Amino acid sequence: MNNNNLSGEILAVIAATVASQNTRPGQKLEVKAIRRISQVSPIWNTTGRIERLSRNLNTL
């Protein structure tokens, strides 16, 4: 499997995961951009960011 194919599959999985998230009726989540972020901060910082983003998405 080449890199382009693998990248396409990863993008499809990410988009499907976002689409499957529970949203309020009438709301729609849309993937506008996906970019790789290097892992330079400790894992607990990254976990905190993910949790904060999750809370923010649930309050929309």
Number of domains in the chain: 1
Token output for 45: 């910082």
Check pLDDT > 70 for residue 54: yes
| Contact present, 11 and 3 (Cβ < 8 Å) | no
Check pLDDT > 60 for residue 29: yes
| Contact present, 41 and 58 (Cβ < 8 Å) | no
* Residue for token pair 């990254």: 46
Check pLDDT > 60 for residue 60: no
What would the DSSP string read from start to end of the chain? Answer: --HHHHHHHHHHHHHHHHHHS---TT--------------S-HHHHHHHHHHHHHHHHT-
pTM over 0.85: no
Domain extent, residue 43, equals 3-58
